[in-house]
Amino acid sequence: MNCYEPARIDKIVVNLVSRSLEEYVNSTDKECFVRLSVISIGICLAFSCPSYAELAYDMGVMNAHSYQSGINIEEYWQSEKLDGIRAIWTGKTLLTRKGNPINAPDWFTEALPNFALEGELWAGRGNFHLVQQTVLDKVPSDSAWEKIDYMLFDMPQSAGDYQKRYYNILHWLEHNSAPHLRYVEHKPIASEEELFRHLDNVSSDNGEGIMLRKVTSRYQAGRSNDMLKLKKHEDTEALVIGYKLGEGKYRGLMGSLRVRLESGAEFNIGSGFTDEQRRNPPQIGSTITFRYNGWTQNGIPKFARYLRERKLF
């Protein structure tokens, strides 16, 4: 079946509706127009590209709160927080958490099922830049994608609590093996002491942190305590709104970025940049990710340092 561009689809709609009007004028059947209009719309949808429907996929995903002491730790399972790009398989298309299509090679997605999966596109610890560059390419590179694994951790549309959804993933992978399809291992937590010991081990190996998932929780879009994150440091995003020129050894370069948080708070970030990044800083209007350690009483992040520019995932 042919796949028509939106402009061509509009033309088809006009032609079909015009034909319906003609039939209505020439007919004494007052229900004729309604019937033909429904047929026209049905034909139009039949000729439209599946991708347009997939782009409208409701990407309501679970998001994590930061870990706070005092929770019942035995209600959660822990896993390593992977520094990759979150990806949702809709059953037909691979999308980012914001609903943008990911141009993966056919061989990467051909083993995926006709139901939804959620995971992380990951190339190993410390290799976020490789994943970012690969996912942003409009024309997929086989050699680049061969370095990436799809690390599964949830089945968004599967019934049951997280324990059931997790074991469903393991069961599916047992019968559908592919080198790049893996799962994120989850384990029970005996105590908070054990949790922080695991965090120390992951951080010392250049890992990003720990994720905690409540085993009795059902999949529910939005941010809640059903999913928590724990890291040695925190990171968040800010909008670049200006620059401050450098002084001394940074004369002629960018000295710091002026950024704005979602809360409206504005401040400067002047550390964490390479010389090349100071020569070619993120553009005004772009979004960056930065690390910090706590907040001031005025709502400004403490010890903010630049991590990377955040692309539109």
Which residues are catalytic, by number? 81
Angle at 151 between CA 90 and CA 130, to 5 degrees: 100
Q: How crowded is residue 144: how many other Cβ atoms within 10 Å of its Cβ?
A: 16
Q: For the chain, give me the number of helices (H) and strands (E)?
A: 9, 15
* Ramachandran angles phi, psi of 212, nearest 5°: -125, 130
SS3 216: coil
DSSP-H helix ranges across 153-292:
162-175, 192-204, 275-279
Cβ 79 vs Cβ 187: under 8 Å? yes
Q: Any alpha helices (H) in the chain, and if so which ranges?
A: 6-25, 32-47, 50-55, 106-109, 128-136, 142-145, 162-175, 192-204, 275-279
Burial of 232 (0-12, 13-18, 19+ CB in 10 A): middle
Closest CA to 268 of 248, 293, 238, 297: 238
Q: What is the dihedral of CA 254, 272, 123, 134, to 10 degrees?
A: -10
Give SS3 for 220: coil
Answer whether 177's CB lies under 8 Å from 148's CB: no
What residues contact 101, with CB distance under 8 A and at least 6 apart?
51, 54, 55, 93, 94, 95
